[in-house]
Amino acid sequence: MLEQFHHSALMYAGRDEFVAKCSAFLRAGIRAGEPGLVMVGPEKITALRDALGEDAGGVCFADMTQAGRNPAWIIPKWRAFAEANQGRRMRGIGEPIWAERTADELVECQRHESLINHAFADAVGFKLVCPYDTDALDADVIHEAECSHPVLAAEGSEKASDAYRGTEACAAPHVAPLPEPGGTVNGMPFGVTMIDAVRRAVERHAARAGLQEMRRQDLVLAVNELATNSVRHGGGYGRLRLWTDDDHVVCEVRDRGAIADPMAGRQLPFAPQPHGYGLWLAHQVCDLVQVRALPGGGVVRVHMSRA
């Protein structure tokens, strides 16, 4: 009989310990004939391949800095891996959090780590290890990992995490406050007759910020979907805010609606479901999407890199 989904945080100190612990975990799976998928940074992929030698052919690798640049892209990749190997024991290693993540990215990565428990609650045979570098990450990041992972792996053994908040709490609405922008913010209210005006405002804003044409089109498409959702499901109107920071063009849509599904935007809606595609699309084309349930309504903030 296949075991229930096993989600653990692996604590390590530095690259050598990462390689030793992760290669041992992978090699045990390879010898048992279990498929494996590793999503970590490119340097760690190289180090693991070198450590595994000929056994590396039994594992698939993906560069997390690309595959998980937007943290909401990660669960669909794990879902595809799990579905492709349904009925078998399988192993995964995923490291979405590293020291160079921005503050906004870090919060969304932590949200991802919590939602993993909900997304795969009914999965069987799947062992997923999430490494955390105790040398490079702040103590509060390590503590949050203990809260979002049912199992902790350290010092060569595993134990239940006393700090784990539970699957239901992990899937609760995301209410962490969003930081206010530091520069000039432009905004406009909109209703059902103003979606064209929203698109034009985003296009002008992105062009002034120097966003390339294809990226501008993607951003306009994403905000169009969010504004349309506001009109249809958020009380008939909303408010658009636009600004830039050093690295990104940022657009935000607020309304009186509430996004109840914790997986909204992180999994393709099931046909013939008539809604949910707009948030999914925004996640696919933007570099970061922040979804919050706030008093009086909801907010979705999307970021597009200026690079």
What CATH number does residue 126 fall under?
3.40.50.300
Query: CB 217: neighbour CB atoms within 10 A?
Result: 14
More confident residue, 114 or 182: 114
- In terms of domains, do 114 and 220 share one? no
Does residue 236 lie in a domain region? yes
pLDDT, mean of residues 178-204: 96
Which domain-ending residue is among 170, 200, 225? Answer: 170
Residue 29: which of 81, 84, 89, 85 has the closest Cα? Answer: 89
- In terms of domains, do 247 and 285 share one? yes
Question: Does residue 183 register a pLDDT over 70?
Answer: yes
* Per-residue confidence band for 156, with pLDDT thresholds at 50, 70 and 90: confident
Q: Are 159 and 215 in contact (CB under 8 A)?
A: no
Does residue 140 lie in a domain region? yes
Q: Identify the pLDDT of residue 274.
A: 54
Q: Are 304 and 286 in contact (CB under 8 A)?
A: yes
Which domain-ending residue is among 116, 144, 170? Answer: 170
d(CA 217, CA 202): 9
Does residue 165 lie in a domain region? yes
pLDDT, mean of residues 8-14: 97
pLDDT in tens, 68-94: 999 999 999 999 999 999 999 999 999
Does residue 84 lie in a domain region? yes
Question: Does residue 160 register a pLDDT over 80?
Answer: yes
- In terms of domains, do 142 and 43 share one? yes
* Per-residue confidence band for 235, with pLDDT thresholds at 50, 70 and 90: confident
Query: CB 50: neighbour CB atoms within 10 A?
Result: 11
* Per-residue confidence band for 52, with pLDDT thresholds at 50, 70 and 90: very high
Does residue 13 lie in a domain region? yes
- In terms of domains, do 12 and 74 share one? yes
Residue 85: domain span: 6-170
Question: Does residue 273 register a pLDDT over 60?
Answer: no
- In terms of domains, do 231 and 114 share one? no
Q: Identify the pLDDT of residue 94.
A: 98
Q: Identify the pLDDT of residue 276.
A: 59
- In terms of domains, do 198 and 247 share one? yes
117-149 burial, b at 16+ Cβ within 10 Å, e below that, comes to bbbbeebbbbbbbbbbbbeebeeebeebbbbbb
- In terms of domains, do 162 and 111 share one? yes
- In terms of domains, do 123 and 198 share one? no
pLDDT, mean of residues 8-13: 97
Does residue 117 lie in a domain region? yes
Domains identified in the chain, total number: 2
Does residue 192 lie in a domain region? yes
d(CA 143, CA 69): 23
- In terms of domains, do 29 and 93 share one? yes
* Per-residue confidence band for 260, with pLDDT thresholds at 50, 70 and 90: confident
Residue 243: which of 285, 190, 291, 183 has the closest Cα? Answer: 183
Residue 228 is part of a domain; what is its CATH number? Answer: 3.30.565.10
Does residue 278 lie in a domain region? yes
d(CA 106, CA 83): 28
Which domain-ending residue is among 105, 137, 170? Answer: 170
CA distances from 154 to 23, 52, 108, 127 (A): 15, 21, 25, 16
More confident residue, 32 or 296: 32
- In terms of domains, do 40 and 148 share one? yes
Question: Does residue 272 register a pLDDT over 70?
Answer: no
- In terms of domains, do 254 and 215 share one? yes
Residue 87: which of 2, 190, 210 has the closest Cα? Answer: 2
- In terms of domains, do 214 and 141 share one? no
Considering the entire predicted model, what is its pTM? Answer: 0.94
Question: Does residue 43 register a pLDDT over 80?
Answer: yes
Provide the β-strand partners of residue 186: 242
